Structure 1
Amino acid sequence: MLATDGSVPERRLGEVIAEHLRRTARINPSDAERRSWDRSLPVLARDLVDAGLGAVEMLVEYQLPLTSKRADVVLAGVDRRTGGDAYVVVELKQWSQAELFEDDPNLVLVRGVAGPRLHPTLQVQNYCDYITDFVGALEGRSEAVRGVAYLHNAADLDVEDLYREVLGEQSRMFTKSRRGAFLDYLRERFASEPGAGAADRLLTSAVRPSKQLLKLAAAEIRDREQFVLLDEQRLAYEIVLNSVDRARKADSKEVVIVSGGPGSGKSVIALSLLGELSRQGRDVLHATGSRSFTETLRRVPGKGSSKVKNLFKYFNSFTKAERNGLDVLICDEAHRIRETSQNRYTPARLRSDRRQVDELIDAARVPVFLLDEHQVVRPGEMGTVAEIRSHAEARGFRVHEVSLDEQFRCGGSRAYEEWVLRLLGLRAGGPVPWLGDDHFSVSAAESPQVLEALLRSKLDKSYSVRMTAGFCWPWSEPREDNTLVHDIRLDDWSRPWNVKGERAVGDPGRWLRAGRLCLHRPGLRVRLERRDHRPGPGLPRRQARHRPGGQ
């Protein structure tokens, strides 16, 4: 527990939180983060005490389930009206002056900060939606979670623009000019009773699995928004929509580059944009350089609809495309862009030295590139942020760049991501020993048989498991009797690759159909266990907890 009654002096608050994060999450906070804690958290704590709510719990740097994103503070207490659990997510901003970005209601410009930022009430609204989506204890109880953006250094006149788009009761905004209103809001929300029980129930609740991308893609494209986009994800989404409006009005072209690692939400952004732009009647297509990914998208979101299937193309589909014939071209997995669209099967009359990245840029007024620079599948793939930016800027186009590196990394483990990058030589410093993480268990299996036995034991405990691996094995066609060839052989152990085509054949088809065990190409024998993925008590107590009224 942290307190402002002298047991933890305010001047040491940042130091204590930093040490907690280093110990529990293997995160080394920056000096700027420490300064922000020292300047903002005591302000909020004093407000709670002055409101007579010193027993309300402050969950500092609350980690959102299954992500590495953290909300500044979640207040946990007793609902004054119902007596149930009540929570307020607080986004603390030290901004002194801000205004809307080009009259866009969802983007703001902050003095001293380069580039647009997400409107803080939209940011905190997304946090509230995400928490109620993933915390089992809050299922069907969205009214228990509210959000507040607290700009405690700004006066109303300094951020007057931002009040035009405050969302309503579930997401409010207060400045230092409205401190009295903020205290009234807290008193209306919370009783003066201790909030420890509500905090415990939030932190120990089961975490529901995230929505599966492809299962929801059809509804996402045809009906309405299905995904909750957080922070940089939502920022990228809004920047694209803003660029589309501006490019059409000004008869211009803008390029958007979104980079991030596995699990950072690039394809969620892509499908969210595809759905929204389709509903707006924009000319939009989705393209990748991966046959399996494209065909899966055509088969799942496009099931029963030739129109939806036609939204998904390949990068080499745009060699003869009309210049700016589309409003938007969404280039997913853009790290798979090749030097040219030509291959050995291209007829001589159609061959060209034109670069594939230029073809994709030319095809739309707003080309959007989503990529992970650490992923290269085949020789000749050259999609990088620098390469795309260089081609766009050389032709005088405005470029927006958004990095997703701060969120959703490998289900929330920054330590695991860093360890893998260094192990594979993708980050300087060389391999280091695995030091552990509350969310992951990493161990080496002595043999494929041991690894498979471990995975099968997890199936019995309601885990989802997968055996994966490298690109080095042959992949035979099914036999005449429709069984799979065991291409993968390690000593006396063998298994087939994943199935070919649209239906399961032979073993392991029953696991594939159940979505439980997928046998892919085995390589590095590493067992990964998501400790917060199974049903039952999930999240450990990993947040720093701060009770403003005492220990």
Structure 2
Amino acid sequence: MFLMRLSASELHALHLRHELVPALESAEERLGRGGELSEGEKRAWKYSLPAVARDLLDADLGEVDIMVEYRLPGVQGPADVVLAGVHPRTHEPSYIVAELKQWKRVQAAPDCHGRFSVENLPGKPKKHPSEQTATFCRKFLQLHRELVGHEERLAGLTYLHNAAESDVSDLLIYPRTRLSHIFTRDSRGALLRFLRERLAPASARGAAEHLEANELSVRLDGLDEAGQSLWHDGFRLLSDPVAAQRYVWESVRAAYAAERKRVLLLAGVTAVQGNQLVTATADLLCRAGYTTRIWSGSCVPESPLSDVLFCEEASLAGAVGRRIPFEGEEGASAVVAGLIRASRVPVIVLTEGDVPGGNAAGMDALVRHTARALQVRFERIQLDQAFG
């Protein structure tokens, strides 16, 4: 699960004795992962880990536990560190996932939206590190009983401890959420305040051990270790809206994690059911750290992109009534194209019954054709069949 767990004071002492990297290398070998070690990882251990330990000490948080190289199933690569402690006001467990970067100069990649070029780091443009941290945090929330229903116990941050803000300004416009704070060398004072607000100057061993003891063994396909479904079968949309919400929630998260973008189209609900489902699911996604919007139909949304964008048929019907074609292609809509481009996961909800200006079959075809014109995958979810 993690490579090594020790307090900030203990990590700092190992660093001063020049024993930190050898200790971590030994831990890698014990876990059978020594062959995977790169020079970049060694540099991060030598410079980034002592930086965060020193900050914790300066914040009078030397007893906070640091779990190094924390791995989760289903997530590519580990979190650099997970900090475990006690909240200074609630006295409940409090955790921080931290991505530590040695980057000094970063610019937005000119031909790759949402990606960045890092000085002295060759290869394809990189994701925003806060995107990486937020993704890890969302999986962390899913896999720990300690955090289920207690999302406020977890925060995420990226720390560019070598960078001046002027040299990474393109990164700083990324939307901040509870799971994607970002700090630089210039904002170290703000980082110390952030740490003090979430962690108390007290022994944290109980919080770290409790986290380990309450890790859920849940597979991504919704089955437990015995292969039994974690969610009951045979539920119906009308009688079990919570199960429907869970179904949509999982579908959206799977689409967000997919390599290729996809459009989700939900069908088989009434206007009232669809509105309640969208509102409840959007609220859950927001609280889990996804940037989520519900389109009202007033104007075509533009950048910055959101993670998830919900659009109900009633909002869409009037806007596409003019049927402005997308790039002149018959059967595609410029308005729908704008919606698809405005988020990582566009979710369009078609409803049964009388929607003014609506036509479920025609709207389905319009969304399908527009997605095809954009070369984006289209996925239809028929909720009344899934819950029949």
**Aligned pairs for 1:331-410 within 5 A:** 366=375
Q: 1:147 aligns with which of 133, 153, 156?
A: 156
Q: 2:59 aligns with which of 48, 51, 54?
A: 51
Distance 1:52 1:228 in 2: 40
Does the 8 A contact of 1:101 with 1:116 survive in 2?
yes
Partner of 2:253: 227
Partner of 2:44: 36
Change in 2 beyond 3 A, CA 1:84/1:365: closer
Change in 2 beyond 3 A, CA 1:235/1:73: farther
Distance 2:149 2:105 in 1: 38
Does the 8 A contact of 1:100 with 1:161 survive in 2?
yes
Distance 2:220 2:254 in 1: 10
Q: 1:24 aligns with which of 15, 28, 31?
A: 31
Q: Counterpart of 2:193 in 1: which secondary structure? A: helix
- Aligned: 1:181 with 2:196: no
Give 1:229 deviation, angstroms. Answer: 7.7
Distance 1:367 1:105 in 2: 16
Change in 2 beyond 3 A, CA 1:223/1:65: closer
Distance 1:115 1:235 in 2: 16
Give 1:94 deviation, angstroms. Answer: 1.1
**Aligned pairs for 1:494-505 within 5 A:** none
Partner of 2:345: 276
Q: Give the TM-score, by structure 1 length.
A: 0.42
Q: Counterpart of 1:89 in 2: which secondary structure? A: strand
Change in 2 beyond 3 A, CA 1:164/1:367: closer
Distance 1:229 1:15 in 2: 41
Change in 2 beyond 3 A, CA 1:129/1:160: same
Give 1:141 deviation, angstroms. Answer: 0.6
Q: 1:110 aligns with which of 106, 115, 118?
A: 118
Partner of 1:133: 142
Does the 8 A contact of 1:126 with 1:229 survive in 2?
no
Does the 8 A contact of 2:68 with 2:80 survive in 1?
yes
Coordinate RMSD, CA, aligned: 4.3
**Aligned pairs for 1:506-521 within 5 A:** none
Does the 8 A contact of 1:59 with 1:75 survive in 2?
yes
Change in 2 beyond 3 A, CA 1:183/1:19: same
Q: 1:157 aligns with which of 166, 169, 175?
A: 166
Change in 2 beyond 3 A, CA 1:127/1:68: closer
Distance 1:177 1:7 in 2: 26
**Percent of aligned positions that are identical:** 31
Give 1:45 deviation, angstroms. Answer: 0.6
Give 1:12 deviation, angstroms. Answer: 3.6
Give 1:7 deviation, angstroms. Answer: 4.5
Q: 1:64 aligns with which of 66, 72, 82?
A: 72
Aligned amino acid, residue 46 of structure 1: R
Does the 8 A contact of 1:75 with 1:87 survive in 2?
yes
Q: Counterpart of 1:165 in 2: which secondary structure? A: coil
Partner of 1:13: 20
Q: Counterpart of 1:227 in 2: which secondary structure? A: helix
Partner of 2:235: none
Partner of 1:456: none
Does the 8 A contact of 2:133 with 2:179 survive in 1?
no
Aligned amino acid, residue 202 of structure 1: L
Partner of 2:130: 121
Aligned amino acid, residue 23 of structure 2: V
Does the 8 A contact of 1:71 with 1:89 survive in 2?
yes
Q: 1:198 aligns with which of 207, 225, 237?
A: 207
Partner of 2:238: none
Give 1:310 deviation, angstroms. Answer: 9.7
Does the 8 A contact of 1:63 with 1:71 survive in 2?
yes
Greater radius of gyration (CA): 1
Give 1:208 deviation, angstroms. Answer: 4.2
Aligned amino acid, residue 79 of structure 2: A
Q: 2:96 aligns with which of 39, 63, 88?
A: 88
Q: Give the TM-score, by structure 2 length.
A: 0.58
Any stretches of 5+ residues in structure 2 without a counterpart? 224-230, 232-243, 263-302, 304-324, 329-342, 351-359, 378-388
Change in 2 beyond 3 A, CA 1:307/1:23: farther
Distance 1:110 1:250 in 2: 35
Aligned amino acid, residue 141 of structure 2: T
Any stretches of 5+ residues in structure 1 without a counterpart? 243-247, 252-273, 282-304, 312-324, 330-363, 369-551
Change in 2 beyond 3 A, CA 1:306/1:68: same
Change in 2 beyond 3 A, CA 1:234/1:34: farther
Aligned amino acid, residue 204 of structure 1: A
Distance 1:101 1:20 in 2: 37
Aligned amino acid, residue 205 of structure 2: A
For residues 145-166 of structure 1, the C-alpha deviation after alignment (integer angstroms, 9 at most, x for no partner) is: 0001001111000111222123
